[in-house]
Amino acid sequence: MRDIMRFIAQAFTGGFFSHYNEHDYDTDVRKLQSVCDGFDTEAVLIGWNVNAPYENFILKLRERNIKAYLWLPVFSEYGEDAACAVDYMGEKHKRAVSDADDDFTFACPGNQTNIELAAGYYDKYFSGHGFDGIFLDKIRYSSFGNGFRSAMGCFCDCCCAHYEAEGVDIEEVKAILGMPDKGFLVPDGLTGLRYTFENSLIDGFYRSRANLITSSVRKTADMFINKGLAIGLDVYAPPFAYLVGQDIEAMSAFSDYIKPMIYRVTDAPAGIPYETRHLVNEMHKNGCGIGGRLEALWEAESLADAVCFDKQLRLLKEVSCDIYSGLEINKADFCATDKQYVNETLQAIEASGIAGCVLSWNVLAETVNSSVFNRTTCFSY
Ligand SMILES: [Zn+2]
């Protein structure tokens, strides 16, 4: 008999240096306990405000035999402490800060100082709290949500040296990115979870970008593995992951679990409707008519539909670590989630046989769960 679907809850305590109101603590604990009890949750991903009372949260979770993973960004959110990414025109990436004050500006992922930031912050702010593991977020290049030039990745000296070492003629890449017709950026095929490109220069470039992210995330993960911590990764939904440099299969070799953010109704960064719109618009503005091509490769009418979701889950099941599909349960203007969407998504996850689901992206904010959703009511079929 197949194992029962497992649940993890995700809790956002605020950005690194946000104020944490201690009067919120009792309410936050009650919300966490309610979700954990309702879904029989095995772990909580929590972060990354340095001022939140993690020891107390962790003690409460331990009473229920629930693990705590520190949710920590890697290549974004570090402001002045991080070295900027540079675009193919030689300019620093523009800052990208969302309405919710979330920083989506991406630093260079090849820079050793940047690679060491997460572990440095952990040592400085989080190491005494008793976390069981670490959950690494923002392990990618910019997406098209930050504009075309940022989405092409980092072209600083150290990143270019990496591409060149892997046989990519980076001057040639910069040259063709300057051409008005950029149809060569349309993926030609899908092999496992990776896209292939007919243009061999671009195919090699995308492979090299992904190798760089894999290598840098592995270095980051190793610093935490050496501290005895388990490793989870937050990645984009498969139709976008490889385009932001994430080779999910390669990264599964050194991770305990991966959470693909298959957010099918979220119109904000990482959400499929948002990423699809920005990718199509930015490509079109830059001489690349991609209309319908990704949908054809995923054999679906929409990248957000149930057919595409099932195909993603089928391919994800083949990787080397557990997969917990991220499911948005937050009620927010830009997130059209509801009971039916949550129910259908949970049923598809259960049917796929992957490990389970991460209740995302913040169970401390208003959600559609608690009294309405729990393990029993979700599985009324
Ligand atoms: Zn770089």
pLDDT tens-place string over residues 50-60: 999 999 999 99
Cβ–Cβ under 8 Å, residues 217 and 74: yes
Q: How far is the CA of 176 from the centre of ligand 1 (A)?
A: 19
Q: How far is the CA of 168 from the centre of ligand 1 (A)?
A: 15
Containing domain of residue 363, as a range? 6-378
Confidence of residue 99 (pLDDT cuts 50, 70, 90): low
pLDDT tens-place string over residues 259-293: 999 999 999 999 999 999 999 999 999 999 998 99
Residue ranges with strand state E in the chain? 6-12, 43-47, 67-73, 133-137, 189-191, 194-196, 230-236, 257-261, 322-328, 356-360
What's the whole-number mean pLDDT along residues 25-45?
93
Dmax over CA atoms of the chain, in Å, equals: 60
pLDDT tens-place string over residues 64-90: 999 999 999 999 999 999 999 999 999
| CA atoms of 39 and 8, how far apart (whole Å) | 9
- Which residue, 304, 343, 345, 338, is CA-closest to 324? 345
Alpha-helix runs per DSSP H in 82-169: 112-121, 148-151, 157-165
Residue 351 is assigned to a structural domain of this protein: yes
Q: How far is the CA of 127 from the centre of ligand 1 (A)?
A: 28
How many other CB atoms sit within 10 Å of the CB of residue 91? 12
Residue 310 is assigned to a structural domain of this protein: yes
Q: Is 76 helix (H, G, I), strand (E, B) or coil?
A: coil
pLDDT tens-place string over residues 165-206: 999 999 999 999 999 999 999 999 999 999 999 999 999 999
Q: How far is the CA of 184 from the centre of ligand 1 (A)?
A: 23
Residue 137 is assigned to a structural domain of this protein: yes
Confidence of residue 162 (pLDDT cuts 50, 70, 90): very high
Residues flanking ion ligand 1, Cβ below 5 Å: 108, 110, 154, 156, 159
Residue 130 is assigned to a structural domain of this protein: yes
pLDDT tops 60 at residue 381: no
Confidence of residue 94 (pLDDT cuts 50, 70, 90): confident
Cβ–Cβ under 8 Å, residues 361 and 331: no
**How far are the Cα atoms of 39, 82, 110, 183 from residue 144, in angstroms, in the given order?**
35, 21, 20, 16
Cβ–Cβ under 8 Å, residues 83 and 76: no
pLDDT tens-place string over residues 353-377: 999 999 999 999 998 854 445 565 5
For residue 339, the domain's CATH number is: 3.20.20.80
Q: How far is the CA of 114 from the centre of ligand 1 (A)?
A: 10
Residue 115 is assigned to a structural domain of this protein: yes
Region class of 84: left (phi > 0), else alpha (psi between -120 and 50), else beta: beta
Q: How far is the CA of 154 from the centre of ligand 1 (A)?
A: 4
Task: Give how many domains the chain has, as a whole number.
Answer: 1
Residue 1 is assigned to a structural domain of this protein: no
| CA atoms of 211 and 133, how far apart (whole Å) | 24
Distance of CA 231 to the CA centre of its chain: 14
Which residues, listed in sequence order, are joined to residue 135 by a DSSP beta bridge? Answer: 71, 232
Q: How far is the CA of 160 from the centre of ligand 1 (A)?
A: 7
pLDDT tens-place string over residues 202-260: 999 999 999 999 999 999 999 999 999 999 999 999 999 999 999 999 999 999 999 99
Per-position DSSP letters for 41-61, written without gaps between them? -SEEEEE--TTS-HHHHHHHH
Residue 166 is assigned to a structural domain of this protein: yes
Residue 133 is assigned to a structural domain of this protein: yes
- Which residue, 283, 374, 358, 360, is CA-closest to 322? 358
